[in-house]
Chain A
């Protein structure tokens, strides 16, 4: 699963949020953090998107939202939440000064080449992937909705 999420994030967006951060999240940067962080972030992203989708199609399931803009509203909210989650998840480690590795030459702890812009870019990445996830989940679960099964586009049904 770690491989799957890692590949998902890195195959398209590694250049966007930077190789050092990718290595840190893989747990291969040499820092104290050695676990694959993509699993937690990816599962959160899927979980949040699934929850938002279920809210739209089954919990709220409101006739007035059965249109492209009703669906888009939920996409936007989902995107914002996932942006904040992805950004803060990584920023927490940055603020806790965990993004350091030991320099074998000096034996001193040196910071990884990661700055706040990289972390912000990762938040955006998480947000973009959550849009794709929301669309996929939409076309899996929408059919059984009472009031919104034709959203976002009736012609695509």
Chain B
């Protein structure tokens, strides 16, 4: 059973993991049975991180109740999401309440070393608190993150690693934690010898996505982060990556992602205030993980993503056929489930819904159902954030939840010969599907019922 370890470095890493978790919930097909997310971020209170952790906990709470018996082809929550570390986070020691100069113990250095430190780091760098990360300073991150290889959490990862497992690293190139953490982590994975299974890990298939600037921050004199430096930092890092990552073949697949249209966010250095709305780029970065997991890369491949057209908002029609095929059916099926559990929950949890009469006794009051509904609410929230962001990812008509088949932006559903329409048609398909389920237990059966019904509807309404 192959596993995929996904390292999400920094705030961007956490946000991409959020998108990836949504795709796993929807049943986007990945080439592994188990995904193990590992977040590297010194800013433990970062709201992007805590939101992602909450979502992944929610996913696992639903997934743990499911067993997928033989014949059950349900794709919702199919992939196992495992937790190796507390809050999925590889803990970075000694960054709480410390400035960088305290971390490196600058006062105890000899004069020559201190002079070197002052040459490499500005006074602002040295005095910078690391409680909320490296604030866009990769030179700080490259020193601090060197210690992760010696941590117990890293050893936990290494000892859990098996032959055939894959690794994927998510980082942004324009910040501090991601830009410094990615090359360091890659070097450790490829050449490190001080941890368990190092020979297997050194030779494993490793992919990564490096995300180029896709947002700006409002100018703030009190903040150490200045988004006008994003491009220059990106150029420097790209030059470094070219020489030290791509050319020496240390990575199997390196995905690049960027956009020349950028929205502007509030300038927060980190902490609970740093909660950026979900973004198209993070969504596309998650598709890179999917792509990597489904393919084998013998030699170094450098990959970029193209869209069919970029005239306005991005919709399913903006994707090329392969990507559209990969995403359209699972995300739309999950959208139908989401609509039923949000917009029409009162009906589907009542005895008026015929399938409930011989099944699902007591299901609607369980924590499984509240977790599942929470996942679907998060899905709507995630979609809405991406739709309102710049550039907008407008996959679904989120204001037409009363019309479940008009929900896909830009795609008109086929008319079918039936006395039922809209939610009545969904209900009819669910009532029919529940009799064909292979699952016996209610939790599995409930999701299998939705999977069978929505799959049939996808075929009837969208020719999928």
Contacts and interface: CB of A to CB of B under 8 A. Distances in A.
Contacts of B427: 63, 147
Interface residues of A, number: 15
A61 B424 contact: no
Contacts of A149: 354, 357
B357 A67 contact: no
Interface range, B side: 10 to 19
Contacts of B420: 62-63
Contacts of B432: 146
B431 interface: yes
A7 to B, nearest CB: 37
Interface string B425-439: 001100110010000
A73 interface: no
B352 A66 contact: yes
Contacts, number: 37
A66 B419 contact: no
Interface string B330-356: 000000000000000000000111100
Interface in A32-59: none
A63 B357 contact: no
Contact of A63 (B351, B428, B435): B428
Nearest to A157: B357
Contact of B424 (A63, A145, A148, A157): A63
B431 A64 contact: no
A64 B425 CA distance: 10
Nearest to A144: B435
Interface in B352-391: 352-354, 357
B441 to A, nearest CB: 21
B424 A146 contact: no
A60 B357 contact: no
Nearest to A59: B419
Given A60-B419, A63-B431, A150 B351 contact: yes
Interface of B: 351-354, 357, 419-420, 424, 427-428, 431-432, 435
9 contacts: A63-B353, A63-B427, A64-B424, A66-B354, A67-B352, A147-B427, A147-B428, A150-B351, A154-B351
